[in-house]
Structure 1
Amino acid sequence: MDAAVEPATPFSAVTAQTSKLQRQYQALLDQSTPYVLYRWIGTGVALFIFFLRIFLAQGWYIVAYALGIYLLNLFLAFLQPKFDPSNDALDNDMEDGAIGTLPTKKDEEFRPFIRRLPEFKFWHSATRAIAVSFLCSWFEIFNVPVFWPVLVMYWFMLFILTMRKQIQHMIKYRYVPFTIGKARYTKNSA
């Protein structure tokens, strides 16, 4: 007798097609990785189109507010170090200044800044959130009537307070999450 052959289930074709689409999607993501500026320009254009949709439709303010909160949360994770020096439990678990922590004293060894949320994941999550928000803005169920100026003022207050706290944290632990280009040294700098 022949070896047992698994009967084809109705879901096997769907699973095969889904995995094929996932591989193609991942290949597109992998190809887009080096084009940071173009990726962010595309995301900015998508965000502009979404806000244009909200402005012209005069609705779906709660969707825009939720998107704003989510993007703020992503941005804060992008600014924070992966290993937070203010976390006492983490400091106690790591003896002798384990790799990944930021230096807290002047004579400590330099360790590079490692983000809690890498730039690519930040971009990918933000772009997906904008696409989902745009999609939600076409369904009436998400058009909850709210007084939008209150949402705008609340979002700005939330932004100011969280950024103030983040900047104080950056000053206290002396780290800058941004590097602009490579450091250049002159011949007479020594």
Structure 2
Amino acid sequence: MEPETTGGVSAAAAATDDVQSNGSSSPADAVSRLIHAVEQRQQHLLDKTVPHVLYRWIACLCVVLIYFVRVFLVEGFYIITYAIGIYLLNLIIAFLSPQEDPESSLTGGTLPTRRSDEYRPFVRRLPEFKFWLSIIRAFAIGFTMTFFDVFDVPVFWPILLFYWVMLFILTMRKQIQHMIKYRYVPFSFGKQKYGKKPAPTESSE
């Protein structure tokens, strides 16, 4: 009878330890579970916005306007605006670039160059949804940073604006030259449709 009693005591002790470990979890585990739940909720809300392209970009425009109104009212934080502009320029280039670089691709491109070629839609390096989400996050972070004086570095903003415009022109010129060289358009308008053949009519004798 003693082995059975020992086994029963061991099982009860193990069950008690499990209950105590589940009931008294460390604060780090509680914070980790909370962060995981928030991330799941955030991802669920983002997934619901995927099909609503127009409303998503209207919301993005509102966020951008709120940020610029904030910068205009405080008359500062121009270095943050310049950093966001450089980041947006990188996003635009990735949005307009194909996923496979034609220069390193063995096929020489991702889109057909003749009418006889098979239809292949343009696949972006940066998808539209990630492009939109990155813009939202950039301006949201920038808006938050405008509440901390440490980021308000005094600069002469016309010089930053001039430099960004020149950088934008040079970068877009290079991108357009790349598009012309490899003959691709960074937009897909759906599968190519062909005209229906007219139904044969019976000839009257």
Instruction: Compute the TM-score of the two structures, normalised by the length of structure 2.
Output: 0.79
Gaps of 5+ in 1: 92-96
The CA deviation at 1:112 is 2.3
Q: Distance in 1 between matches of 2:187 and 2:97?
A: 11
Correspondence for 1:10 among 7, 12, 27? 27
Q: Indicate if the aligned counterparts of 2:111 and 2:121 stay in contact, CA closer than 8 A.
A: no
The CA deviation at 1:187 is 4.9
The CA deviation at 1:185 is 4.7
Percentage of matched positions with identical amino acids: 52
Give the stretch that moved more between structures: 7-16 or 154-163. 7-16
The CA deviation at 1:111 is 2.9
Gaps of 5+ in 2: 1-9, 198-205
Residue 150 of structure 1 corresponds to 159
Correspondence for 1:102 among 103, 110, 131? 110
Correspondence for 2:187 among 169, 178, 182? 178
Q: Distance in 1 between matches of 2:191 and 2:164?
A: 35
Does the alignment pair 1:30 with 2:38?
no
Q: Alignment RMSD, CA only?
A: 2.3
The CA deviation at 1:75 is 1.0
Does the alignment pair 1:129 with 2:144?
no
Q: Distance in 2 between matches of 1:115 and 1:9?
A: 44
Q: 1:147/1:66 Cα in 2 relative to 1: closer, same or farther (>3 Å)? A: same
Correspondence for 2:64 among 18, 29, 47? 47
Residue 86 of structure 1 corresponds to 103
Q: Indicate if the aligned counterparts of 1:40 and 1:123 stay in contact, CA closer than 8 A.
A: yes
Q: 1:115/1:122 Cα in 2 relative to 1: closer, same or farther (>3 Å)? A: same
Residue 114 of structure 1 corresponds to 123
> Which deviations, in whole Å up to 9, do the C-alpha atoms of 1:133-189 show, x marking residues without a partner?
00011110000000000000001001111111111111111111123466555458x
> Which deviations, in whole Å up to 9, do the C-alpha atoms of 1:6-31 show, x marking residues without a partner?
35112121111111111100100011
Q: Indicate if the aligned counterparts of 2:112 and 2:120 stay in contact, CA closer than 8 A.
A: no
Q: Highest Rg: 1 or 2?
A: 2
> What is the number of residues matched between the two proteins?
180
